[in-house]
Structure 1
Amino acid sequence: MKFAKLFEQVLQEEGIPPEWVHTAIQYKSLKKCINRIVDELDEIGLKKKTLSFLLEDGIETDDEFVKADYIFEKHTHSVKPKLIITLRHNAEDNNGELCKDKMTQEIKATLQNIMDNELGLKNVGKVEKYIPKIVEVDNDDNQEVQIVIHLYQDSIFFQMLYQELAALDDLKNSQESKMIQEVQDIGSIIGSITSPTLKKTDLLVWREIFKMYIDSEIFFSTSEFSPGERSVAQSEERLELFFRRIKEKNMLKEFHHKVSVECFNNFYKVNIHLLKALQFQTFNKMAIFKILKKFDKQTSLKGASGFPKLIEHDPFIKESFAHTMCAVISSRLLNIIPQLDDYTCPICCSVTFKPIRLDCGHVFCVRCLVKMQRKRQDNCPLCREKVVMRADEHNLDLARLEYLKLYFPKETKAKQLETEKEIAKEQFEAIYGDQQRCIIQ
């Protein structure tokens, strides 16, 4: 399926909001504009093959060199392409005329006609401002002539593309603001119904939901083999899997507060909204670069290499919806519910009950620290700084200890029981030795 048809199908059949569709890249209109650019170039005598030679390496003879450059000038609300053709020569014949081969002669004749405005430009459109700017540069015995040509139709093409991109930038900013506000609203409600001090709190349910969401890696992969942003198809598949798992576990029925169900539904809508925005952005970026590739193919002008440099910092091009919104969801929603993985000891991988914060800043559970001190291991396992042996009761992080008791009561009690059993075993072995089991022979 051709891209134009696929792009139209996505906009019409994938649930893209109508107001977004109106701001999408007008791919078909831009294709028609390219055809008019080709007609304009033919009209003034600049054939595709000739332009290709001039823009790639130029045309050089013993006495003359002709080279073309296609560049862009960016202004506040507009972009202007221009074709600069440079003629450089070193010698003159007896009559004072430049030495040229056949192709150079034809190019110079064409350019002279453009300068004199002797061609009938009936198919070019309004040509009141279609007057090339001529710049002559003398350099010792060498003479250089630069002819700057502002084509009419390619100016329309790139201005149209530039304005459409500006509209997409505005859409991206407005949609991100809308989604950020939705995330903040959800976060405010969840924060009020997951307080560990409530008699009926939804803390544990939301913790499990958010852990499943984080582990699903819906929009980004942290895999060593394929890290980075996922494709739209992959994100859609993983999002469906996440919500299917929630449904299969009947987790919504575990909520104590009805508003939690409403929050979850809104959370679902935010993710669908983000997925659609990502899909819309992906296809519009594809449309931009595909139309530029088509522009180059049909005209031989180098729009696909020059124009992207002008727009590389535009919000719609520079950063995806996924980058922005996943950061917002993480900082303003997921972080409301502390996850156990963020409070585990790096050595034993269980909750850091009675957390000891070393002078280097790293935190370990007291049992692992005691074992390191017994073995005279002074280096921090994470940063290798010599801080272990000087740690004492003053390194106990009391604030973190109370926090863990409040948000992870089951885990801290289990860790305390495990620690007490381990201490009792050590004390028993210290008195009676390592008792072997009876062996019946």
Structure 2
Amino acid sequence: MKFGREYRQLLEDEEFPEHWRNKTINYWQLKKVIKKIEKELEDLGLDVDTVRTLSKPADDATIEITEQSQDPSGSALGAVTRLSRLPPSLWIAIDKASGQPVDATLTKETKRCLFALGKVQHGEAKSNLELTNRLDQITLSRDFEVLMSDASETEDPTERYCEQHRWLKVPLRSVVDFFAILNPELARVEAVKAAESAAMERAISSLGTEVTQLTMPTITQSRRPKANPDLSTWRKIFALYIDCAIFFPTYGHFYSARKFDEAYARMQTFSDQLREQRLVDKLKVQQSRDAVNNFNDINTSILKTLRFLELNATAVSKILKKFDKRTALGANRAFPDADPAPFARAMVTMLCAEVDSKIVTRVPRFDEWQCPICYDLAWRPIRLGCCNNIFCIRCIIRLQQEAKDQCPMCRQSTVRAADSAYIDDNTVAFLEKYFPDEVKAKDRANKRQAGIDQYGEAFYHKSCVVM
């Protein structure tokens, strides 16, 4: 299936909002303009093979689209915006004496057409020459390099060239039309991207506040914190979300953002596992269930926007390739071919960072408070003072029993001096508040291990025997 039909079908199947559909790249209209450009070049005698021969980078062509500004992003979309601000044209070196183009590879029809065009532009040749006689604005053909190779070492070849030749400007009206259509369409796509990003940022911030309230432990009459009944379930939901790594690999970075197809499959996996583990059903408060649904809606919106931007970026990439294939005017050289993903990557990166900082991290994760020795909760947390890591008290006691004095993380000699005074009281209060079940389990395990250390393995028995 050709891309045009595939593009149209995808836009219909994806069920984008109606106001999005009116702001997509008009691939079919741009294809029609490309045909006009072909006709315009053919009328000048510049068939695509001739232009391609002249514009090959390896041949140091005499024909090139004028384009001076640079965009460090190197993306196809940014490049199109640059070109749309310039009047595209061809510049060809013309011999002053004969009026003929310098490059010997031009066809007879092209030479006749350019000779006639040169007569029309003869009156403005001097002004054109003053503006465009710098060699860094064009590239030269091999034939012209041979012509200049006879110049003496003391002679400036630029001066000799300017004495013998002048520049002929060939306007490309249809090329101007092409980018005049494309540039506003890109602006409309960017407007959709900006509007959706702003709306999702507001939704993310609102949900983050709601999740914080729904998971906040309550304070009893005895002034001791009581765990929120949904806290542990929320922690499991977010742990599952992190494991699914929907938009980025777990240990990825900005440039490893997933494309839509893979992100969509991972979102499906996340939804399926939520149902299989019945995590939503385990939430005791209806507001929590509604918040989970809202969380899924936000991720679905990010996916839909990602799909919309990828489709439009692919359409731009395809139409630029077609532009270069049909006209050989070097659009792909002026605007390096780029993966469409960067067009959407910045938005996805920003929104995922918002989800992580304003929603997911509102519920403290277990792995952030693990002891780096036993990988269990660092209960009765010991902070040695040499580094910022915390350890559970049982692991520090075991290191002391083994006469090990070096910190397991930074290797400084701080273990032997540690005692109950090194317990971090602020961390104790935090763990009791957000990990009450884990604290109780670890406290029982610590007491059991202390009894074994004092009385031996026989201190605890799996069953009671009456004699």
TM-score bracket, normalised by the shorter chain, equals 0.7 to 0.9
- With normalisation by structure 1, the TM-score equals 0.80
Structure 1 residues 329 and 101, CA, compared in 2 at 3 Å: closer, same or farther? closer
- Does 2:162 align with 1:139? no
Structure 1 residues 415 and 110, CA, compared in 2 at 3 Å: closer, same or farther? same
Shift of 1:351: 0.7
Shift of 1:392: 5.0
- Look up the match of 1:348: 374
Shift of 1:287: 0.8
SS in 2 for 1:139: helix
- Does 2:31 align with 1:31? yes
Shift of 1:16: 1.0
- Look up the match of 2:86: 80
Partners of 2:47 and 2:419 in 1: CA distance: 83
- Look up the match of 1:127: none
- Look up the match of 2:435: 408
- Look up the match of 1:113: 116
For structure 2, the 5+ residue unaligned runs are 70-80, 122-126, 135-156, 220-225, 460-467
Structure 1 residues 348 and 101, CA, compared in 2 at 3 Å: closer, same or farther? closer
Instruction: Answer whether contact 2:99 2:115 (CA < 8 A) is retained.
Output: no
- Look up the match of 1:263: 291
Question: Larger relative CO (CA 8 A, sep 6+): 1 or 2?
Answer: 2
- Look up the match of 2:177: 156
Matches within 5 A, 1:58-207: 67-72=62-67, 78-80=84-86, 82-85=88-91, 87=93, 102-104=104-106, 106=108, 109-117=112-120, 133-134=128-129, 135-136=132-133, 139-143=158-162, 145-197=166-218, 201-207=229-235
- Look up the match of 1:365: 392
Shift of 1:113: 2.9
- Look up the match of 1:237: 265
- Look up the match of 1:280: 308
Quick one: which amino acid aligns to residue 103 of structure 1? Answer: T
1:265-303 CA-to-partner distances (Å, cap 9, x unmatched) read 222221221111111111111111111111111111111
Shift of 1:338: 1.1
Shift of 1:81: 5.2
Partners of 1:205 and 1:66 in 2: CA distance: 67
Structure 1 residues 101 and 160, CA, compared in 2 at 3 Å: closer, same or farther? closer
Partners of 1:408 and 1:275 in 2: CA distance: 33
Which is further off, 269-278 or 421-430? 421-430
Instruction: Answer whether contact 2:247 2:263 (CA < 8 A) is retained.
Output: yes
Partners of 2:354 and 2:241 in 1: CA distance: 14
SS in 1 for 2:62: strand
SS in 1 for 2:20: helix
Task: Report which of the two has the higher share of strand.
Answer: 1
For structure 1, the 5+ residue unaligned runs are 60-64, 119-131, 434-441
Partners of 2:207 and 2:101 in 1: CA distance: 76
Task: Report which of the two has the higher share of helix.
Answer: 2
Instruction: Answer whether contact 1:277 1:321 (CA < 8 A) is retained.
Output: no
Partners of 2:189 and 2:101 in 1: CA distance: 51
SS in 1 for 2:88: strand
Partners of 2:117 and 2:425 in 1: CA distance: 83
1:3-50 CA-to-partner distances (Å, cap 9, x unmatched) read 111111111121111111111111111111111111111122222112
SS in 2 for 1:157: helix
Shift of 1:377: 4.5
Quick one: which amino acid aligns to residue 338 of structure 1? Answer: P
- With normalisation by structure 2, the TM-score equals 0.76
Task: Quote the sequence identity (%).
Answer: 29
